[in-house]
Homo-oligomer: A and B are copies of this chain.
Amino acid sequence: MAKTKRPISARRPNTADMAQFILASASPRRKELLKRLELPFEIIPSSVEENYSNGMAPPEMAKRWALEKARDVAAAHPETIVVGADTIVVLEGNILGKPKDSSEATAMLRKLSNKSHTVHTGVALVQKSNEAVISFVESTEVTFFELDETLISSYVATGSPLDKAGAYGIQDGSTCFVEKVNGCYHNVVGFPVARFVQLVRSEEFKQQFSADIWFASDREIA
């Protein structure tokens, strides 16, 4: 059911509060980032548990688990566009998951100190009824300043590292750890918003998916 070409600047339907897609993620950072786009969506976290032990390269793995999460939720919501995402942090070839306690968080931050690591976020869009699937991975290199024990211990004491891959959230106090990023900043927060917008405004998206995602920027300006 391929869509015919629509003008990019079309009138927004009179359904401003209707969810345009489902975000298959419980991450409060992803929710926050997507809310900024001023487009209504619904959150239905997937029940998929990531398993990174299968020897795939990290970017492929991030894409794979994004897809698994999207498919999991799409099974019960076949008509709706479901967006899955998965973020993997890699330092010197090793994946850094979510630390299980403060001492693991401290150890991770010590490892990240004064080095560069890479954050890969896989994103997958699925519309089951339409057999539409698009996925991509965005990778950002992050370089940390040298961290002293005072910085590490006070950050760990905030509790912030515990639910985050790599033991930090770039948008919180650890923003002061970051000397530079090379790539998409919001990808490190947890979702590559800019590339997502590029994708859903593209011809590729319009041809595969039988629904629109409407952005504030696509609204007709009065």
CB-CB under 8 A from A9, the residues of chain B are: 150
CB-CB under 8 A from A37, the residues of chain B are: 176
Q: Please tell me how many copies of the chain the complex holds.
A: 2
Q: Which of A157-198 contact B (CB under 8 A)?
A: 157, 173, 175-186, 193-195, 197-198
Would you give the shortest CB distance from A39 to chain B, in whole angstroms? Answer: 12
Q: How large is the interface on A (under 10, 10 to 19, 20 to 34, 35 or more residues)?
A: 35 or more
Cα distance A182–B181 in the bound complex, in angstroms: 6
CB-CB under 8 A from A197, the residues of chain B are: 176
Q: A176-B193, A182-B183 are in contact. List 5 more A-B contacts (CB 8 A).
A: A176-B194, A176-B198, A177-B194, A180-B184, A181-B182
A-side interface residues toward B, CB under 8 Å? 8-9, 36-37, 140, 145, 148, 150-151, 153-155, 157, 173, 175-186, 193-195, 197-198, 216-219, 221
